[in-house]
Structure 1
Amino acid sequence: MTYFTYILLNNVVPLTIMIAIGVILYRAFKLDIRTLSKLNFYLFSPALVFKMLYESSLSLAVLGQTLLFFVLFFAAMFLLMEVVIRLRGYKGGMIPAMRNSVIFYNSANYAIPLNQLVFVGDAFTLSIQIIIMMMQSLLPNTYGIYAVNASKRNDMKQTLRTILTLPVIYIIPIAFLMKGLDIPIPGPVYAPINYVSDAFIATALLTLGVQLGSMKWTFNLTDVMLSNVLRLCVGPAVGFLIVMLMGIEGLMAQALVLSCAVPTSLSSVLIAVEYDNEPEFSSQAVFSSTIFSIFTVTLVIYLIKFIG
């Protein structure tokens, strides 16, 4: 009950309030969602990724094992989604939209505070989650955008040019390089980075609210619920199997399984809005998975206690 209450009060309720504010602002002022989307892609998200990587403490051993787990998990979920997509007969933009709603998950503003609650501020488990967050920041800005453009048969050179304009693919190596070489950042420069990174969560949630406020609420219940089940139930089950196969135990195993259990990432909505690819489905998948995660994440937290 403690975990349930914490997740409800500290994750779902604040997220829902911010989303509701976005809905209200759209209804009142008809905010331009594409401007909000570009702010997220080109300013707020890169600043958050840089700050978290620059300030983190990552060992090479933990980095290598976590990256191997992530690659195996991503490959397994990708193959599973290919089977689901073929069985459901999805066409066009719905293919990457459904895939993105399952393989991209909220590894930053949901998973990091959750990790620190469950493991009581443990620096080791936090470093694992930060590595997952790094990969979940990189993939939507590369593969996610590629898949959406490919589904629309857009010119691949133009698609690659679009990907190469995204700051986050440069921010990650720069952050690691500066951290590895112990390059200090002057206070007058670091202060704006802090301001901008702190604004990411609010802006991303407002963007989701604006999208929800502007769309027609015609729920495709079957597809949204299928996405939720695959993300919230199948995801952590696959993570558990991979941990078992890799022979990982203890806190690391628990942290990795928990990292797979969080709801759909806001990045799937930002991609959908930016490239006009099933934004209604993507918004509904994010919103509903966040609500249902109250129950599913609580169950996962209970079950990982039995991982040796």
Structure 2
Amino acid sequence: MTYFTHILLNNVIPLTIMIALGAGLYRAFKLDIKTLSKLNFYLFSPALVFKMLYESELTMSLLGQTLIFFLIYFAAMYLLVELVMKWRGYQGGMVTAMRNSVIFYNSANYAIPLNQLVFVGDAFTLSIQIIIMMMQSLLPNTYGIYSVNAHKQDPKQSLKTIMTLPIIYVIPLAFLMRGLHIPVPEPIYAPINYISNAFIATALITLGVQLGSMKWQLRFSDVMLSNVLRLLIGPAVGFVVVWLMGIQGAMAQALVLSCAVPTSLSSVLIAVEYDNEPEFSSQVVFSSTIFSIFTVTIVIYLMKFIS
């Protein structure tokens, strides 16, 4: 009950309040969703990723093993969702929207606080989650954008779009500066801190604005299918992957927990920015965040069986 109450009070309710504020602001002022989306892609998200990677303490051994886990897990979930979509007969933009809702998950503003709650501020498990966050920041801004535009525009144009995104330059820059112990001048680091601190609020308000602008024609079966794949099948696949890799202890628990979080806000931002099933994507993010209070609690309980 302690986990349940803490997740409710410290994750779900604060997220819901921010989303509700965004919806209310849209109703009152008709905020421009495209402007908010661009702020997230080109300003707030890159600043957050740079700050967290630059300040983290990662070893090459931990980085390598975590990346291997992530790639196997990502491939397994990708294959699974492809089989499900083929069975369901999805076509057009819905294929990308469903896929993104399952393979892109909230590894930053949900998973990092959750990690630190469960492992009581452990630096080792936080480093694992930061690596997952790095990959979950990079992939939506590369593959995610390419897949959304694949059926709309020439691949060269999609690649050109991807190359304009700061996130693909921020990640190697953060690693390089951290590895070479290059300090960031305070007049530059202070704005990075301010901007990164604004990421969560801006992303959630963006989701709220999108929800406030929707007609709310609930696509129950599609939304619930995505929720089941992300919240139930996702952590189950994580359990299998750590078992196959022979990973044990705190690392195994941290990796499984990283697979249990709800759909990422990135899926909404991509859907809005490139007009690809934004209503479905918004409904999935909102519902998976609410349902995760129950599913994450179950995963945390089952983690004690990982030795």
- Please classify the TM superposition score into its range, dividing by the shorter chain length: over 0.9
Aligned to 1:134: 134
Q: Deviations over 1:189-239 (max 9, x none)?
A: 100000000000000000000000001100000000000000000000000
Q: Write the letter of the residue equivalent to 2:283.
A: Q
Q: Residue 46 in 1 paired to residue 46 in 2?
A: yes
Between the aligned partners of 1:169 and 1:74, the Cα distance in structure 2 is 19
Aligned match of 1:237: 236
Deviation at 1:156, TM superposition (A): 1.2
- Mapped to 2, the partners of 1:123 and 1:114 lie a distance apart of 13
For residues 25-81 of structure 1, what are the alpha-carbon distances to aligned partners after superposition, in whole Å with 9 as ceiling and x for unaligned? 000000000000000000000000000000000011110000000000000000001
Matched to 1:172, the amino acid is I
| Structure 2 counterpart SS, 1:120 | coil
SS in structure 1 opposite 2:146? helix
Distance 1:187 1:146 in 2: 36
2:12 aligns with 12
Are 1:53 and 1:130, in contact at CA under 8 Å, matched by a contact in 2?
Answer: yes
Cα displacement (A) at 1:96:
0.5
- Partner deviation per Cα, 1:217-267 (whole Å, 9 max, x = no partner): 000000000000000000000000000000000000000000000000000
Which residue of 1 is the match for residue 2 of structure 2? 2
Amino acid at match of 1:226: L
Give the Cα–Cα distance (whole angstroms) in 2 for the partners of residues 50 and 293 of structure 1: 28
Is the Cα–Cα contact under 8 Å of residues 111 and 129 in structure 1 kept in the other structure? yes
Distance in 1 (CA, whole Å) between partners of 2:289 and 2:59 is: 31
What is the one-letter code of the residue matched to 2:232? C
The residue that corresponds to 1:275 in the other structure is 274
| Aligned AA (1:230) | L
- The alpha-carbon deviation at position 113 of structure 1 amounts to 0.4
In structure 1, C-alpha distance between the alignment counterparts of 2:11 and 2:246, rounded to whole Å: 32
TM superposition shift of 1:151:
2.9
**One-letter amino acid matched to 1:291:** I
Task: Give the unaligned 5+ runs of structure 2.
Answer: none
Residue of structure 1 equivalent to 2:72 = 72
- Cα drift, residue 155 of structure 1: 1.3
TM-score, structure 2 as length reference:
1.00
Provide the residue aligned with 1:224 in structure 2: 223
**Distance in 1 between residues matched to 2:302 and 2:219, nearest whole Å:** 31
Percent of aligned pairs sharing the same letter: 81
The runs of 5 or more residues in structure 1 that have no matched partner are: none
Question: 2-side partners of 1:23 and 1:305: how far apart?
Answer: 39
Q: Which residue of 2 aligns with 1:192?
A: 191
Question: Following superposition, which runs of at least 4 residues in structure 1 exceed 3 angstroms of deviation?
Answer: none
Alignment of 1:17-32 (within 5 A): 17-32=17-32
SS of residue paired to 1:151 = coil
Name the aligned partner's letter for residue 28 of structure 1.
A
RMSD value, Cα: 0.4
- What are the equivalent positions in structure 2 for 1:1-308 lying under 5 Å apart? 1-152=1-152, 154-308=153-307
Instruction: Tell me, in whole angstroms, the C-alpha distance in 2 between the residues paired with 1:187 and 1:60.
Output: 28
Give 1:305 deviation, angstroms. 1.0
CA–CA separation in structure 2 for the residues paired with 1:195 and 1:99: 33
Partner Cα distance (1:189, 1:145) in 2? 29
What is the letter of the counterpart of residue 55 of structure 1? E
Q: CA shift at 1:294, angstroms?
A: 0.4
Paired with 1:125 and 1:181, the residues of 2 have a C-alpha distance of: 24
* Structure 1: distance between partners of 2:116 and 2:15: 18
Q: TM-score, normalised by structure 1?
A: 0.99
